Amino acid sequence: MFVGQIVLIFAEYALWGPPVPHPNPLAHQSIAVRFFFIVMLMPFLETIVGQWLPIRLMHGVFHLSWRVAAAGSIVLFTLMHGYTDRAVIAILLGAVVLATVFVIEAKRGGWPVLSTYLTHALANACVLSLQSG
């Protein structure tokens, strides 16, 4: 997911030039505070709201297919980030990966919330390490 997002960012840069920077409300916080929010808390909350809730509702309650449930999760997760510019492409790629991880783990009887959370947290940790470097 992370490598794919980096490739997309470089491709966008080559095609359209540098992106407009987005405001970072945690920019002036310590690395410990940023780590807590970006790597630990937000991936967990986003996994619950962006994958678990929509997929469980659509597939479990409304008996829609896994693909439809994953598509709903992808749309919701992407919209939750609030981007209206080309950053949507990178978020969309992440949303596809996270929904796929969740569905695969759920179908095999694994731990979909934990697997998705750890995937998301690792990707965010990679982003944070680039921002802090």
pLDDT digit string (tens) for 35-54?
A: 999 999 999 999 999 999 99
The arithmetic mean of pLDDT across residues 107-121, rounded, is 98
Q: Which of 127, 61, 65 is nearest to 93 (CA)?
A: 127
What pLDDT, on the 0 to 100 scale, is given for residue 23? Answer: 87
**pLDDT higher at 55 or 8:** 55
What pLDDT, on the 0 to 100 scale, is given for residue 1? Answer: 78
Indicate if the pLDDT at residue 67 is higher than 80: yes
- Confidence band, pLDDT 50/70/90 cuts, at residue 73: very high
What pLDDT, on the 0 to 100 scale, is given for residue 69? Answer: 98
Indicate if the pLDDT at residue 2 is higher than 80: no
pTM over 0.75: yes
What pLDDT, on the 0 to 100 scale, is given for residue 6? Answer: 81
- Confidence band, pLDDT 50/70/90 cuts, at residue 133: low
- 32-39: long-range contacts (C-beta < 8 A, 24 or more apart)? 34/128, 34/132, 35/125, 35/128, 38/124, 38/125, 38/127, 38/128, 39/121, 39/124, 39/125, 39/128
Q: What's the mean pLDDT when you consider all of the chain?
A: 93
Give 133's DSSP letter: -
Q: Which of 124, 105, 127 is nearest to 52 (CA)?
A: 105
